[in-house]
Amino acid sequence: MFLFRLMNFLVGYVTITIRGEAPEKFINMAAARGIFLWDIARPGEQTMRANVRLSAVRPLRHIARRTRCGFHITRRAGLPFLWMRLARRKALAFGAVLFVLGLYFLSSFVWTIEVTGNSRVPRKEILSVASAAGLNRGVPKWRLDCPAVERALKANLPAISWAGVYVKGTKVTIEVVEKTIPEKKNQSPAHIVAIKAGVIKEVLVFSGHAAAKEGDTVVPGQILISGIIPPSEEQKPEQPGSETHSEQPAPRQPTYVHAAGIVRARVWYEGYGEALLAETGKRFTGHRVTRVCMKIKGREIILAGPQKIPFLHYQTETSVKKPPPWRNLHLPVELVISKYYEVENYRLVRNRAEARRLAGERALHAVQKQLPQGARIVHKQLDELIVKEPESLVRVKAFVESLEEIGTEQPFTPGEESQNQVPAPPSQP
Amino acid sequence: MTWREWKKRLSEFLEIPNDVMLNLPRVVLMGNLQAFIENHRGILEYTPQIVRVGIEEGELEITGEKLILRNILPDEICVEGMIKTITFK
């Protein structure tokens, strides 16, 4: 049935309205002559409507004359009629062809270049190398040689281990994989010094000489692991043995290393928080409306949103979108999007325990902000500060003891440091 | 015994279907929506309420609502719509 309809569309068909005494006769005769009629309906007493193929219209005239009926065409459908209409509008046909050709022509150029996979090598550098190899914006795709660009990228950028160039539509994707270059280890002499005051819990020396031990109280800046290793006692007999030619044993030279290690210490923090017993303020209710206006030369036209803001108190957030200026031309049109958030006044009454809990949370939160990344809280204590005269405020102080790493690297130059820093660590501030 | 009954007996004896031997119409109904009538002798009357189709020896009357003739071929008619009755006259 579908094939049949498709055929009807291709060869074209018309809807005819038959008018006469006995349209049935007309239909019978048409059917007997092998003319195919379909969708026959009878809208009125004297009329009948039917669909017939375009090629059968001419024989129907003969039948109409013989059955004393008249018919006229009320609707034309199908490809031949469409084609006729198109032939009448030559400019439209020309435009359609031009459009397809234009689309094809313009899609055979590279319009965007995307670079993925680069984090250290700048995009500009990759693009300039690619440009030298013949890949830049606007280059025709048939002249683009992807393997050559890949080779050029690999040859000219030493930081890249692999490059791929793919064309997809009008977009070219340059995918690069960067070489992972091992980091250069800093080997210059350095100490590990404390950044915070605390009591040492454990010292783990990877390299260097431990200057603090477990249980020591340290102050900020104090050396915990020294980068100066004093000559050990066992070297003593070795050294004169090796330098037999000099009678005087040379002053033993300490070795300088880049100290490394983990120093964990107990550090104390203090935080303060307070909570009102009765709190008043403003807060958002969560209701909001958005209004979109178009502003033309100072006049505002509401495009969407309510005329009147349905809130008593509200806060406004406005964003303005302007068309980009061209040369010194500014269009006096802008789009204003305003968001209105409803606020309400509230009053909250807490009892003492609740307020204390809240103040405690705030105090702990204040401490939490000071804590570094890997700190572990060992102990915490909340103390309420009692003031003489009663007030509508609960003040809580939090004391937190945490276990954390306090060491940090501090480079030094061997000559001067050895004299003033090593012997007197506590003298440092 | 008429000529028609002789033919009927003969078709029964030879096991030939009746519609071939006797030129009878073959009516296929799809519920009350569609009726195919094969082996007809043309339309006698057509309105949206009634369709009368000529058949060998008489006529077939279909009544209903919004009847349309879906297609007409020299030996086949398809009637569509809400069919109520089919009567042989």
Residue A13 has what pLDDT? Answer: 93
A contact test, residue of B45, B50, B68 with most A CBs within 10 A: B68
Sign of CA pseudo-dihedral A45, A76, B65, B60: positive
Is the model's pLDDT at A65 over the cut of 50?
yes
A contact set with B (CB within 8 A): 23-24, 27-28, 30-32, 34, 36-42, 48, 50
For A2-83, CATH number out of 3.30.1360.200, 3.50.50.60, 3.40.50.12170, 3.30.70.260 equals 3.30.70.260
Is the model's pLDDT at A238 over the cut of 60?
no
> pLDDT for A367-390, tens place per residue?
888 888 878 888 888 888 877 777
Other beta carbons within 10 Å of A31: 22
Q: Determine contact, residues A229/A255, Cβ cutoff 8 Å.
A: yes
Averaged pLDDT score across all residues of chain A: 84
Q: Which of A225, A196, A220, A193 is nearest to A208 (CA)?
A: A225
Alpha carbon distance A122, A412 (integer Å): 34
At B41, is the secondary structure helix, strand, or coil?
Answer: coil
Is the model's pLDDT at A420 over the cut of 50?
no
A136-to-A8, A116, A125, A174 alpha-carbon distances in Å = 52, 16, 13, 12
Q: Please count the residue pairs, one from chain A and one from chain B, whose beta carbons lie less than 8 angstroms apart.
A: 48
Kindly indicate the confidence band of residue A416, based on its pLDDT and cuts at 50, 70 and 90. low
**Identical fold, A2-83 and A112-178:** no
Residue A427 has what pLDDT? Answer: 43
A24 vs B44, B68, B73: nearest CB: B44
Q: Please judge whether B69 and A23 are an interchain contact, meaning their C-beta atoms are less than 8 angstroms apart.
A: no
Q: Please judge whether B70 and A38 are an interchain contact, meaning their C-beta atoms are less than 8 angstroms apart.
A: yes
Q: Please judge whether B47 and A28 are an interchain contact, meaning their C-beta atoms are less than 8 angstroms apart.
A: no
Residues in chain A closer than 8 A to B37 (CB atoms): none
Domains and CATH numbers, chain B: 23-88 (2.60.40.2000)
Q: Please judge whether B74 and A31 are an interchain contact, meaning their C-beta atoms are less than 8 angstroms apart.
A: yes
A157-to-A148, A184, B79 alpha-carbon distances in Å = 14, 21, 79
B43 vs A24, A36, A38: nearest CB: A24
Residues in chain B closer than 8 A to A28 (CB atoms): 42-43
- State the nearest Cα–Cα gap between B10 and chain A, in angstroms: 31
> pLDDT for B17-28, tens place per residue?
777 777 888 999
Q: Please judge whether A38 and B72 are an interchain contact, meaning their C-beta atoms are less than 8 angstroms apart.
A: yes
Alpha carbon distance B46, A23 (integer Å): 9
Q: Where are the domains of chain A?
A: 2-83, 112-178, 190-262, 270-277+350-407, 278-347
Residue A429 has what pLDDT? Answer: 43
> pLDDT for A287-346, tens place per residue?
888 989 888 887 888 888 888 888 888 888 888 888 777 788 888 888 889 899 999 888
Q: Which of A66, A44, A69, A71 is nearest to B46 (CA)?
A: A44
Instruction: Say which residue, A284 or B16, is predicted with more confidence.
Output: A284
Q: pTM value?
A: 0.42
Residue A367 has what pLDDT? Answer: 87
Q: Please judge whether A40 and B72 are an interchain contact, meaning their C-beta atoms are less than 8 angstroms apart.
A: yes
Burial of A394 (0-12, 13-18, 19+ CB in 10 A): buried
A39 vs B46, B68, B74: nearest CB: B68
Bridge-based pairing of strands A299-304 and A255-256 is: unpaired
- State the nearest Cα–Cα gap between A27 and chain B, in angstroms: 8
Q: Determine contact, residues A338/A318, Cβ cutoff 8 Å.
A: yes
Question: What is the CATH architecture of A112-178?
Answer: Roll (3.10)
Is the model's pLDDT at A104 over the cut of 90?
yes
Residue A100 has what pLDDT? Answer: 96
Is the model's pLDDT at A98 over the cut of 90?
yes
Alpha carbon distance A199, A268 (integer Å): 9
Q: Please judge whether B72 and A36 are an interchain contact, meaning their C-beta atoms are less than 8 angstroms apart.
A: yes
B42 vs A28, A38, A41: nearest CB: A28
Q: Please judge whether B69 and A27 are an interchain contact, meaning their C-beta atoms are less than 8 angstroms apart.
A: yes
B contact set with A (CB within 8 A): 42-48, 68-74
> Which residue's entry shows tokens 């002499």?
A189
A31 vs B47, B68, B73: nearest CB: B73
